[in-house]
Structure 1
């Protein structure tokens, strides 16, 4: 007779458009049900991926009907933790990583697997004070593991599990001549630094004045960025589109992906763009250099440098055959080094190891 199934609860703040949300749903969908009984808890209602959860049949519980995390969210989190006490509790975003550790410890959860998944997560999750409340930590970028280690987290309590992607899902098919179409995908937040990208667009020389940029995402800086685009005279060259879970049409109709972030871990939009066959221009921050091989699958630039970013854009627009070759090699790079199956297997191995300690 085999071991009983391991109950695992993943907790997200919301189901809004975002890489961690997408990765979490893929992981939940693919976990071996003969070994694990997974659930998803969401601290607040609404979000772009809510329909996906229902369609995929993932067992889920929304802990508040409000569109913001509030005392009701936390009270219901506490009640559910006390009632169910899952074998392994996994907070996946910043706010859950704070409250699941505090309330999970009080509720006597056997194993809390903390996660760090964003460029600023070590600071935002108050890891300096809270890392001890997680029994183990999973990070999606080496830089985050180093950040936790610098705070005193022992190496045996750290595991690196990089994001995965199903390349077949992002096959954009053959591209016709679609002109000079740039794409940026990401939340309109200061970390993503769309402002530098807008200034780079304004610096493009006259022979690239026909280049067009589409920015896909929502966030607090939307009005400010639209104002900046108007002030730079880019109203007819830059289009803002709301976040959506189906991004393939945008990748399919683009020439290259630009990712100008100041802080990152292992961004999903770069992985998706590369899997769709796009060359990528990105800032060399966090784990981005793991995804973009300089000169082979794209170009890396320094963060916050609009002039260097504009030069990189010109380099690829001036050499479409080279850009196309970079896109092809980028897809191969994703297939060889960042498969979704490998990510899921790594998580399953870690969860088994943690459960073995629990049962010993």
Structure 2
């Protein structure tokens, strides 16, 4: 069977799709399986000029909006690039972005297309203060879910909570299949160690949705309580300067290290003790599974896919979002009891190994590919 895994941008960023798709190829072994990965280079801009239409709604009602115009142009560019680069046929196409899914179904109408909805672009934009809930951009982006439902042969998503979110915008959410992300254990090299000063680490894009302002406030509270620690922040993004200034104003800059973007943070994580990320929303939260596979104790917020990965007090700690004192309390509890921290980290590792195995994901996907191919 010839497969096409269709991404949006190349899989260069850590976390999420990039943590999984490139590792598929050796698991889909020839001669029974042949897999190709396709994406659009970031340098492709304003190349496409084809008219864009949708079956389930008229996007022209939103066309005066600049965000919508940019999204439509990106669809045109993806069409242009796909027509230029994809010259062969496939038995199944698996798309990992709405634009890739809709474009490739248009270009390959007789080929089954499976779509995994990994996250909510509109929710991220709202949390990052880029658009307003219920506004024109929000209406346009959520309209795409029914368009996907109309055209896709199968829709997948990564958590039960995100399936529930999608149910608001789809006519038949019961048809969505949940397959949590999977990880190749060989990427992760846990290291037994004892740090005299607790090492806290987070890995994410530096955007408001990740709640790093809350993390810095919690760390300032830990310092005020007399605790020593080092906070490692891996990632980059539009609010890095703002976060650095906040660390200075909270008098915790000396305890905080901003590394910027790192291609393989899993090679750095095992030397820390606690992974913490107080996201305001998360469809799955891949980095929690990655941190668990590095033997780190987990502290996260009780939202979305994070709450499906962490059972509070069993394999990590959960706190409400936007509550720095609650986050400081959870971190203090872990920092002050190495035995408890060890127990949580090992329980987290066991769950991640069992629930987020790449082998499990590949086997489930193979069954889905065979089913949609038979139906075509």
TM superposition score category, shorter chain reference: 0.7 to 0.9
Correspondent of 1:26 among 11, 23, 27: 23
Ranges in structure 1 where 5+ consecutive residues have no aligned partner: 47-67
Alpha carbons of 1:223 and 1:271: their partners in 2 closer, same or farther (altered >3 Å)?
same
Match of 1:13?
9
State the TM-score, normalized to the length of structure 2: 0.80
- Contact kept? 1:161, 1:343, Cα under 8 Å: yes
The CA deviation string for residues 213-235 of structure 1, in whole angstroms up to 9 with x for no partner, is: 01101222212211221222221
- Structure 1 position 107, deviation (Å): 4.3
C-alpha offsets along residues 238-277 of structure 1, whole Å, 9 cap, x if unaligned? 1111222322342222110001111112222111111111
CA displacement, residues 270-293 of structure 1 (integer Å, 9 cap, x when unaligned): 111111111100001112122112
What are the ranges of 5 or more consecutive residues in structure 2 without an aligned counterpart?
A: 44-72, 124-137
Aligned to 1:216: 234
Q: Distance in 1 between matches of 2:38 and 2:316?
A: 38
| Aligned partners of 1:43 and 1:69 also within 8 Å | no
After TM superposition, the structure 1 = structure 2 runs for residues 302-321 of structure 1, keeping only pairs within 5 Å, are 302-321=320-339
- Match among 33, 36, 42 for residue 36 of structure 1: 33
Shift in CA distance, 45/152, structure 1 to aligned 2, threshold 3 Å: closer
Distance 2:200 2:189 in 1: 18
Structure 1: how far apart are the matches of 2:273 and 2:3?
44
User: How many angstroms does 1:168 deviate by?
Assistant: 4.5
Deviation, 1:186, is 0.9
1:43–1:74 Cα contact (<8 Å) kept? no
Distance 1:310 1:243 in 2: 26
Paired position in structure 1 for 2:83: 78
Match of 1:242 in 2: 260
Q: Which of residues 152, 167, 172 in structure 1 aligns to 2:170?
A: 152
| 1:148-227 paired onto structure 2 within 5 Å | 148-155=166-173, 157-227=175-245
> 263, 270, 274: which is aligned to 2:288?
270
Task: Verify: 1:333 aligned to 2:351, yes or no.
Answer: yes
**Structure 1 residue 76: Cα displacement:** 1.5
Cα distance in structure 1, aligned partners of 2:102 and 2:323 = 38
Equivalence for 2:156: 138
1:113 aligns with 2:114: yes
User: Which residue matches 1:60?
Assistant: none
Deviations 1:126-167 (A, max 9, x none): 314443222211111112222333323425642111111233
Paired position in structure 2 for 1:283? 301
The SS at the match of 1:152 is: coil
Q: Secondary structure at the match of 2:37?
A: strand
Note if 1:300 corresponds to 2:318: yes
Partners of 1:85 and 1:262 in 2: CA distance: 41
How many residue pairs end up in the alignment? 329
Question: Which SS does the other structure have where 1:114 is aligned?
Answer: strand
User: Once superposed, what is the RMSD of the aligned Cα atoms?
Assistant: 2.4
**Change in CA separation of 1:357 and 1:121 when aligned onto 2, cut-off 3 Å:** farther
